[in-house]
Structure 1
Protein backbone atom coordinates (compact mmCIF):
# COMPACT_ATOMS: atom_id res chain seq x y z
CA UNK A 1 0.00 0.00 0.00
CA UNK A 2 1.27 3.46 -0.85
CA UNK A 3 2.28 5.31 2.31
CA UNK A 4 1.43 8.69 0.84
CA UNK A 5 -1.65 7.45 -1.01
CA UNK A 6 -3.37 6.04 2.06
CA UNK A 7 -3.01 9.23 4.13
CA UNK A 8 -6.29 11.18 4.37
CA UNK A 9 -6.46 14.81 3.25
CA UNK A 10 -7.97 17.19 5.81
CA UNK A 11 -9.91 20.02 4.18
CA UNK A 12 -9.85 23.36 6.08
CA UNK A 13 -13.17 25.01 6.97
CA UNK A 14 -12.85 27.83 4.42
CA UNK A 15 -12.08 25.46 1.48
CA UNK A 16 -14.71 23.64 -0.59
CA UNK A 17 -13.91 20.58 -2.70
CA UNK A 18 -16.19 19.30 -5.45
CA UNK A 19 -15.53 15.97 -7.19
CA UNK A 20 -17.49 15.76 -10.44
CA UNK A 21 -18.04 12.97 -12.99
CA UNK A 22 -14.78 11.50 -14.30
CA UNK A 23 -12.75 12.73 -11.30
CA UNK A 24 -12.78 16.40 -12.29
CA UNK A 25 -11.90 18.07 -8.99
CA UNK A 26 -12.64 21.75 -8.28
CA UNK A 27 -11.18 23.32 -5.14
CA UNK A 28 -12.20 26.82 -3.99
CA UNK A 29 -10.62 28.74 -1.15
CA UNK A 30 -9.66 32.21 0.06
CA UNK A 31 -6.52 32.39 -2.15
CA UNK A 32 -8.13 31.23 -5.40
CA UNK A 33 -9.76 28.41 -7.31
CA UNK A 34 -8.18 25.38 -8.98
CA UNK A 35 -9.69 22.72 -11.23
CA UNK A 36 -7.98 19.56 -12.44
CA UNK A 37 -9.03 16.38 -14.22
CA UNK A 38 -7.46 13.47 -12.36
CA UNK A 39 -7.27 9.91 -13.67
CA UNK A 40 -10.84 8.52 -13.83
CA UNK A 41 -9.90 5.04 -12.57
CA UNK A 42 -8.79 6.32 -9.15
CA UNK A 43 -11.47 6.31 -6.42
CA UNK A 44 -11.83 9.65 -4.60
CA UNK A 45 -14.12 9.61 -1.55
CA UNK A 46 -15.18 12.69 0.41
CA UNK A 47 -16.51 12.31 3.97
CA UNK A 48 -17.22 15.70 5.52
CA UNK A 49 -13.86 17.47 5.81
CA UNK A 50 -11.63 14.52 4.86
CA UNK A 51 -10.81 13.12 1.43
CA UNK A 52 -9.35 9.68 0.80
CA UNK A 53 -7.94 8.21 -2.39
CA UNK A 54 -8.17 4.49 -3.14
CA UNK A 55 -6.98 2.43 -6.06
CA UNK A 56 -9.14 -0.09 -7.90
CA UNK A 57 -6.53 -2.87 -8.09
CA UNK A 58 -2.95 -3.81 -7.22
CA UNK A 59 -1.89 -3.20 -10.83
CA UNK A 60 1.51 -1.51 -11.20
CA UNK A 61 -0.04 1.52 -12.96
CA UNK A 62 -2.66 1.95 -10.21
CA UNK A 63 0.01 1.70 -7.52
CA UNK A 64 1.97 4.47 -9.24
CA UNK A 65 -1.11 6.69 -9.62
CA UNK A 66 -2.28 6.22 -6.01
CA UNK A 67 0.29 8.45 -4.32
CA UNK A 68 0.38 10.87 -7.25
CA UNK A 69 -3.38 11.46 -7.16
CA UNK A 70 -3.33 12.03 -3.41
CA UNK A 71 -0.39 14.45 -3.67
CA UNK A 72 -2.03 16.44 -6.47
CA UNK A 73 -5.24 16.75 -4.44
CA UNK A 74 -3.35 17.74 -1.29
CA UNK A 75 -1.38 20.41 -3.17
CA UNK A 76 -4.61 21.85 -4.58
CA UNK A 77 -6.20 22.08 -1.11
CA UNK A 78 -2.99 23.50 0.40
CA UNK A 79 -2.59 26.04 -2.41
CA UNK A 80 -6.06 27.59 -2.20
CA UNK A 81 -5.79 27.75 1.60
CA UNK A 82 -2.25 29.12 2.06
CA UNK A 83 -0.58 29.83 -1.33
CA UNK A 84 2.82 28.57 -2.41
CA UNK A 85 5.87 30.84 -2.56
CA UNK A 86 9.32 30.64 -4.12
CA UNK A 87 12.01 33.13 -3.16
CA UNK A 88 14.84 34.03 -5.51
CA UNK A 89 18.02 35.98 -4.75
CA UNK A 90 19.89 38.08 -7.33
CA UNK A 91 23.66 38.20 -6.75
CA UNK A 92 26.15 40.26 -8.73
CA UNK A 93 27.55 43.77 -9.00
CA UNK A 94 24.97 45.93 -10.77
CA UNK A 95 22.39 43.14 -10.88
CA UNK A 96 19.02 44.38 -9.64
CA UNK A 97 15.31 43.84 -10.15
CA UNK A 98 12.29 46.13 -9.99
CA UNK A 99 8.57 45.76 -10.54
CA UNK A 100 6.89 48.09 -13.01
CA UNK A 101 3.15 47.47 -13.17
CA UNK A 102 2.72 43.76 -13.90
CA UNK A 103 6.25 43.42 -15.33
CA UNK A 104 9.43 42.31 -13.61
CA UNK A 105 12.33 44.38 -14.98
CA UNK A 106 15.77 42.84 -14.40
CA UNK A 107 19.24 44.30 -14.99
CA UNK A 108 21.43 41.20 -15.22
CA UNK A 109 24.63 42.40 -16.85
CA UNK A 110 23.32 42.21 -20.41
CA UNK A 111 23.28 45.18 -22.78
CA UNK A 112 19.50 45.27 -22.37
CA UNK A 113 16.96 44.87 -19.58
CA UNK A 114 15.23 41.52 -19.21
CA UNK A 115 11.46 41.91 -18.80
CA UNK A 116 9.16 39.13 -17.55
CA UNK A 117 5.38 39.62 -17.32
CA UNK A 118 3.17 38.11 -14.62
CA UNK A 119 0.96 35.27 -15.80
CA UNK A 120 -2.56 34.52 -14.64
CA UNK A 121 -2.63 33.08 -11.12
CA UNK A 122 0.94 34.17 -10.32
CA UNK A 123 1.98 37.35 -8.52
CA UNK A 124 5.51 38.73 -8.29
CA UNK A 125 6.79 40.79 -5.36
CA UNK A 126 10.09 42.66 -5.17
CA UNK A 127 10.71 43.60 -1.50
CA UNK A 128 14.35 44.54 -2.20
CA UNK A 129 16.42 45.23 -5.35
CA UNK A 130 18.02 41.80 -5.07
CA UNK A 131 15.04 39.65 -3.97
CA UNK A 132 12.10 38.22 -5.93
CA UNK A 133 9.09 36.43 -4.41
CA UNK A 134 6.78 34.41 -6.67
CA UNK A 135 3.34 33.56 -5.21
CA UNK A 136 0.36 31.54 -6.40
CA UNK A 137 -2.07 28.79 -5.48
CA UNK A 138 -0.90 26.28 -8.15
CA UNK A 139 2.32 24.63 -6.94
CA UNK A 140 3.40 23.51 -10.40
CA UNK A 141 2.84 26.94 -11.97
CA UNK A 142 4.76 28.73 -9.18
CA UNK A 143 7.72 26.36 -9.52
CA UNK A 144 7.73 26.60 -13.33
CA UNK A 145 7.54 30.41 -13.32
CA UNK A 146 10.35 30.67 -10.74
CA UNK A 147 12.47 28.32 -12.86
CA UNK A 148 11.87 30.49 -15.94
CA UNK A 149 13.01 33.59 -14.04
CA UNK A 150 16.11 31.75 -12.75
CA UNK A 151 16.87 30.60 -16.31
CA UNK A 152 17.44 34.22 -17.42
CA UNK A 153 20.79 34.26 -15.58
CA UNK A 154 21.57 31.00 -13.71
CA UNK A 155 24.23 31.24 -10.98
CA UNK A 156 27.77 30.55 -12.07
CA UNK A 157 30.19 28.56 -9.89
CA UNK A 158 33.18 30.95 -9.83
CA UNK A 159 31.79 34.17 -8.34
CA UNK A 160 28.23 33.00 -7.60
CA UNK A 161 26.71 35.71 -9.80
CA UNK A 162 23.19 35.16 -11.13
CA UNK A 163 19.69 34.33 -9.93
CA UNK A 164 19.35 31.49 -7.41
CA UNK A 165 16.68 30.11 -5.12
CA UNK A 166 17.02 31.40 -1.54
CA UNK A 167 17.58 27.89 -0.16
CA UNK A 168 19.89 26.80 -3.02
CA UNK A 169 23.57 26.27 -2.30
CA UNK A 170 25.96 27.06 -5.14
CA UNK A 171 29.01 24.79 -5.26
CA UNK A 172 31.91 27.14 -5.78
CA UNK A 173 34.96 26.37 -7.90
CA UNK A 174 38.47 27.66 -7.54
CA UNK A 175 39.50 30.01 -10.35
CA UNK A 176 42.71 30.09 -12.35
CA UNK A 177 46.06 30.12 -10.62
CA UNK A 178 49.32 31.54 -11.95
CA UNK A 179 51.39 29.20 -14.11
CA UNK A 180 54.58 27.95 -12.40
CA UNK A 181 57.72 27.22 -14.41
Structure 2
Protein backbone atom coordinates (compact mmCIF):
# COMPACT_ATOMS: atom_id res chain seq x y z
CA UNK A 1 0.00 0.00 0.00
CA UNK A 2 1.33 3.45 -0.79
CA UNK A 3 0.28 6.99 -0.05
CA UNK A 4 -0.20 9.37 -2.92
CA UNK A 5 -0.18 13.08 -2.29
CA UNK A 6 -3.00 14.89 -3.98
CA UNK A 7 -2.66 18.00 -6.13
CA UNK A 8 -3.77 20.17 -3.20
CA UNK A 9 -0.46 19.42 -1.47
CA UNK A 10 1.46 21.55 -3.96
CA UNK A 11 -0.95 24.44 -3.46
CA UNK A 12 -0.60 24.24 0.33
CA UNK A 13 3.19 24.23 0.12
CA UNK A 14 3.05 27.27 -2.16
CA UNK A 15 0.68 29.04 0.24
CA UNK A 16 3.23 28.51 2.99
CA UNK A 17 5.98 29.95 0.75
CA UNK A 18 3.74 32.90 -0.14
CA UNK A 19 3.07 33.52 3.54
CA UNK A 20 6.82 33.75 4.13
CA UNK A 21 7.16 36.16 1.20
CA UNK A 22 4.32 38.26 2.60
CA UNK A 23 6.06 38.28 5.97
CA UNK A 24 9.24 39.57 4.35
CA UNK A 25 7.28 42.31 2.56
CA UNK A 26 5.56 43.32 5.79
CA UNK A 27 8.92 43.52 7.54
CA UNK A 28 10.27 45.86 4.86
CA UNK A 29 7.15 48.03 5.04
CA UNK A 30 7.29 48.18 8.85
CA UNK A 31 10.95 49.19 8.73
CA UNK A 32 9.89 52.20 6.69
CA UNK A 33 6.66 53.11 8.47
CA UNK A 34 7.02 51.78 11.99
CA UNK A 35 4.27 49.79 13.65
CA UNK A 36 1.66 52.57 13.42
CA UNK A 37 2.07 54.34 10.08
CA UNK A 38 0.68 57.80 9.43
CA UNK A 39 -2.22 57.19 7.00
CA UNK A 40 -1.88 60.67 5.48
CA UNK A 41 1.85 60.54 4.76
CA UNK A 42 3.07 59.40 1.35
CA UNK A 43 5.85 56.95 2.13
CA UNK A 44 6.60 56.41 -1.58
CA UNK A 45 6.81 52.68 -0.96
CA UNK A 46 7.75 51.69 -4.48
CA UNK A 47 10.59 54.23 -4.57
CA UNK A 48 12.00 53.55 -1.11
CA UNK A 49 11.58 49.77 -1.34
CA UNK A 50 12.57 49.23 -4.99
CA UNK A 51 11.51 45.60 -5.37
CA UNK A 52 8.27 45.87 -3.38
CA UNK A 53 6.02 46.36 -6.41
CA UNK A 54 7.66 43.44 -8.19
CA UNK A 55 7.23 41.19 -5.15
CA UNK A 56 3.60 42.23 -4.70
CA UNK A 57 2.82 41.56 -8.38
CA UNK A 58 4.60 38.20 -8.19
CA UNK A 59 2.51 37.27 -5.16
CA UNK A 60 -0.66 38.40 -6.92
CA UNK A 61 0.19 36.27 -9.96
CA UNK A 62 0.87 33.24 -7.77
CA UNK A 63 -2.49 33.70 -6.05
CA UNK A 64 -4.19 33.79 -9.46
CA UNK A 65 -2.41 30.55 -10.43
CA UNK A 66 -3.62 28.89 -7.23
CA UNK A 67 -7.17 30.07 -7.86
CA UNK A 68 -7.14 28.72 -11.42
CA UNK A 69 -5.67 25.40 -10.30
CA UNK A 70 -8.27 24.95 -7.55
CA UNK A 71 -11.14 25.69 -9.93
CA UNK A 72 -9.66 23.26 -12.46
CA UNK A 73 -9.24 20.54 -9.81
CA UNK A 74 -12.88 20.98 -8.79
CA UNK A 75 -14.15 20.64 -12.36
CA UNK A 76 -15.22 24.27 -12.65
CA UNK A 77 -16.76 24.52 -9.19
CA UNK A 78 -15.32 27.21 -6.95
CA UNK A 79 -14.38 25.91 -3.48
CA UNK A 80 -14.26 28.17 -0.41
CA UNK A 81 -10.47 28.33 -0.40
CA UNK A 82 -10.51 29.54 -4.02
CA UNK A 83 -12.93 32.34 -3.11
CA UNK A 84 -10.67 33.39 -0.25
CA UNK A 85 -7.64 33.37 -2.54
CA UNK A 86 -9.49 35.47 -5.12
CA UNK A 87 -10.52 38.03 -2.48
CA UNK A 88 -6.94 38.17 -1.20
CA UNK A 89 -5.63 38.74 -4.72
CA UNK A 90 -8.17 41.52 -5.30
CA UNK A 91 -7.11 43.34 -2.12
CA UNK A 92 -3.45 42.96 -3.00
CA UNK A 93 -4.07 44.29 -6.52
CA UNK A 94 -5.82 47.35 -5.10
CA UNK A 95 -2.77 48.13 -2.97
CA UNK A 96 -0.47 47.64 -5.97
CA UNK A 97 -2.50 50.10 -8.04
CA UNK A 98 -2.63 52.67 -5.22
CA UNK A 99 0.58 52.34 -3.16
CA UNK A 100 -0.41 55.44 -1.16
CA UNK A 101 -3.13 53.29 0.43
CA UNK A 102 -0.63 50.78 1.83
CA UNK A 103 0.05 52.90 4.93
CA UNK A 104 -3.65 53.59 5.43
CA UNK A 105 -4.54 49.91 5.01
CA UNK A 106 -1.55 48.22 6.61
CA UNK A 107 -4.04 46.06 8.50
CA UNK A 108 -5.16 44.58 5.15
CA UNK A 109 -1.66 43.26 4.52
CA UNK A 110 -1.49 41.96 8.07
CA UNK A 111 -4.83 40.19 7.62
CA UNK A 112 -3.72 38.75 4.27
CA UNK A 113 -0.63 37.30 5.87
CA UNK A 114 -2.67 35.89 8.76
CA UNK A 115 -5.17 34.38 6.32
CA UNK A 116 -2.43 32.61 4.39
CA UNK A 117 -0.96 31.21 7.57
CA UNK A 118 -4.33 30.00 8.81
CA UNK A 119 -5.17 28.38 5.44
CA UNK A 120 -1.91 26.49 5.58
CA UNK A 121 -2.32 25.26 9.13
CA UNK A 122 -6.06 24.59 8.75
CA UNK A 123 -5.74 22.45 5.65
CA UNK A 124 -2.58 20.76 6.88
CA UNK A 125 -4.22 19.59 10.10
CA UNK A 126 -7.57 18.51 8.69
CA UNK A 127 -8.42 14.90 9.39
CA UNK A 128 -8.08 12.40 6.61
CA UNK A 129 -11.35 11.80 4.85
CA UNK A 130 -11.77 8.84 2.57
CA UNK A 131 -14.86 8.21 0.50
CA UNK A 132 -13.78 4.68 -0.30
CA UNK A 133 -10.70 2.71 -1.12
CA UNK A 134 -10.06 -0.21 -3.40
CA UNK A 135 -7.54 -3.00 -3.33
CA UNK A 136 -6.32 -4.23 -6.68
CA UNK A 137 -3.34 -6.23 -7.79
CA UNK A 138 -0.58 -4.02 -9.25
CA UNK A 139 -1.25 -5.13 -12.82
CA UNK A 140 -5.01 -4.39 -12.77
CA UNK A 141 -6.24 -0.92 -13.69
CA UNK A 142 -8.72 0.89 -11.46
CA UNK A 143 -12.21 1.28 -12.82
CA UNK A 144 -14.39 4.25 -12.02
CA UNK A 145 -17.98 3.28 -11.39
CA UNK A 146 -20.96 5.59 -11.18
CA UNK A 147 -24.32 4.96 -9.58
CA UNK A 148 -27.10 3.87 -11.87
CA UNK A 149 -30.32 5.86 -12.05
CA UNK A 150 -32.05 3.16 -9.97
CA UNK A 151 -29.42 3.34 -7.23
CA UNK A 152 -29.83 7.12 -7.10
CA UNK A 153 -33.62 6.85 -6.89
CA UNK A 154 -33.31 4.24 -4.14
CA UNK A 155 -30.95 6.49 -2.17
CA UNK A 156 -33.24 9.52 -2.55
CA UNK A 157 -36.29 7.50 -1.50
CA UNK A 158 -34.53 6.15 1.61
CA UNK A 159 -33.32 9.66 2.49
CA UNK A 160 -36.84 11.03 2.08
CA UNK A 161 -38.35 8.34 4.31
CA UNK A 162 -35.63 8.81 6.92
CA UNK A 163 -36.26 12.55 7.04
CA UNK A 164 -39.77 11.93 8.44
CA UNK A 165 -38.55 9.93 11.43
CA UNK A 166 -35.20 11.56 12.13
CA UNK A 167 -35.05 13.72 15.27
CA UNK A 168 -33.52 17.00 14.12
CA UNK A 169 -33.98 18.60 17.56
CA UNK A 170 -31.58 16.24 19.31
CA UNK A 171 -27.95 17.35 19.45
CA UNK A 172 -26.00 14.25 20.29
CA UNK A 173 -22.96 14.54 22.48
CA UNK A 174 -23.32 18.23 23.25
CA UNK A 175 -23.68 17.62 26.97
CA UNK A 176 -22.09 14.85 29.00
CA UNK A 177 -24.99 14.76 31.47
CA UNK A 178 -28.73 14.55 31.10
CA UNK A 179 -30.09 18.04 31.34
CA UNK A 180 -33.65 18.52 32.50
CA UNK A 181 -35.15 21.89 32.03
CA UNK A 182 -37.70 23.11 34.50
CA UNK A 183 -39.58 26.34 34.42
CA UNK A 184 -40.70 27.67 37.77
TM over 0.5, shorter chain: no
Please state which structure has a larger fraction of its residues in helix.
2
**Higher radius of gyration, 1 or 2:** 2
**TM-score normalised over the length of structure 1:** 0.29
TM-score using structure 2 length: 0.29
Q: Higher RCO, 1 or 2 (CA under 8 Å, sep at least 6)?
A: 2
